[in-house]
Structure 1
Amino acid sequence: MRRNILAAGAALLVLGLVTGASSPVTLIATVPVAVVNIILGLGTSASPGLETQPESGRIRLAMDRGVVRATIYQVVFLDSKLVLKRLSSARVTIILPLMLAILGFEILFIVGALMGGITGFSLQEFLTQRKRNKIESEMQLSSVGKGDIEISYGDLLEVKLAKSRLYLVKDTYLLSVGFPGRYSQEMRPILANIFKSKFKTTESVRTTEASEKENEESQHTRSDRGKFPCR
């Protein structure tokens, strides 16, 4: 059961009942859409979140949701490599909600667009969780299939954690992975243990920059003292 989808469905149901008194058409259109969202909420299992101690011994850390551009991945940190399992593409995350919102707007204007957008989001969550469940039931977390991304730790030059984003730096490109901000604190010590000296955080970068700036100022001061004699 997914509470946020249920809440969205309940909100649409209330909206339909409130506006239905003055507009029967809105009531007729809203109630079925609300029921669909409630059914999707009941049929979508809860997301596992951040798994810091997965059952598999090969997996060091598993994150249920990582976003690269408009594609949603399940992010799995193994002993020697990182695997991003694709859960949904831009067609599901952007195009589907947008199309439903436009369709709803054509029928009921703002209310219709709201219904379409919410239903698109609910469908996205349902399809994403179904793919996540399939991957876990078939024990494919460590395998690489079509649309997945595999990165060896040896190929990474730097791994930087900045609030709700993880930056993976390679020779040829930079991969940015967005994730729920509440995961950051739990991830930090595990990532530090996995990547050792390659791992950096926003705080460590700021400390290094401040130290370098202080050293530069100190060098300039000593240089100035050499140029101008003291009295």
Structure 2
Amino acid sequence: MRKNILVAGVTLLALALLFGASYPTGLLFSIPISILNIIFGLVTRTSPGFESRPESANIRLVIDRGVVRASIYQLVFLNSKLILKRLSSMMVTVIPAFVLALLGLEVLWIVGALMGGITGFSLQEFLTQRMRNRMRSEMQLTSVGKSDIDISYDDLLEVRLVKSRLYLITETSSLSASFPRGYSRKMQPMLVNIFESKFTTEESVRAAEAAEKENEKGEHPRGDRGKLSCR
């Protein structure tokens, strides 16, 4: 059960009944939408977040959600490479919410657009979690599909964590994945163990830059001005 979706559905149902008193026709849209959110909340499992797998010889860490551009991926950190398993694309993350919001706007104006947008998010979470449920075995997590991304650790020059975004930098390209709030604090010690010296944070980069500036000042001290002597 996903509590946030369930609460959203109950709230939308209360809102639908409130507005239905003055606009009964809108109930044909708002009541089904609200019930749909409640159903999504009941059937969608809670997202696992982080999964450390010490019992596995290949998998070191699994992060349930990372957004790259408009697609949602599950990040699987193996011993020698990172695999980003695509859970949903823009067709699921953006378009349904946009279409439902437009439909709601047509029926119930701003309130309807809000209902439609929330329902699009609930649908996205339901479909994304269903994809996670399909990829439970080690074989499924470690295989690379057509829509997946795999990056060898040897190709990485730097792995930088800045706030809620992880930057993966190679010689020829870079890729960034954003995470929900609170993930970065939990991720940091795990990523240090995996990437060691290649892993940096925003704070460590700033500290290194400050130290470099101090070294430059020490190597090139400002010359003292000579004083003119009066005869």
TM-score over 0.5 for the pair: yes
8 A Cα contact 1:160 1:200, kept in partner:
yes
- Give yes or no for contact 2:29–2:104 (8 Å, CA) kept in 1: no
Q: Residue deviations 1:117-173, cap 9 Å, x none? A: 111111100000001100115841111002000000000011001111100001111
CA distance in 2, matches of 1:109, 1:193: 51
Distance 1:185 1:200 in 2: 13
Q: Which residue of 2 aligns with 1:132?
A: 132
State the AA in 1 paired with 2:145: G
Q: What does 1:191-202 correspond to in 2, within 5 Å?
A: 191-202=191-202
2:115: which partner in 1? 115
Q: Secondary structure at the match of 2:9?
A: helix
Provide, for residues 33-66 of structure 1, a one-character-per-residue CA deviation record: whole Å limited to 9, x for no partner: 1111101111111111112346533111110000
The alignment's TM-score, normalised by the length of structure 1, stands at 0.93
Counterpart-to-counterpart distance in 2, 1:37 and 1:200: 40
**Structure 2: how far apart are the matches of 1:43 and 1:120?**
16
Q: 1:37-186 counterparts in 2 under 5 A?
A: 37-53=37-53, 55-137=55-137, 139-186=139-186
- Please, what TM-score do these two structures have when normalized by structure 2? 0.93
- Alpha carbons of 1:55 and 1:33: their partners in 2 closer, same or farther (altered >3 Å)? farther
1:224 aligned partner, one-letter code = G
Gap runs ≥5 in structure 2 = none
Which residue of 1 is the match for residue 209 of structure 2? 209
Asked if the contact 1:54–1:62 (Cα under 8 Å) also holds between the matched residues in 2, the reply is no
Q: What number of residue pairs does the alignment pair up?
A: 228
Question: Cα 1:138–1:196, aligned 2, differ >3 Å: closer, same or farther?
Answer: closer
Q: What percentage of aligned pairs have identical amino acids?
A: 62
Give yes or no for contact 2:64–2:73 (8 Å, CA) kept in 1.
yes
Q: Which runs of 4+ in 1 moved over 4 A?
A: 228-231
Q: Once the two structures are superposed, what CA deviation does each residue of 1:172-199 show, in whole Å capped at 9, x if it has no partner?
A: 1110010123121222122112112111
How many Å apart are 1:230 and its aligned residue? Answer: 7.6
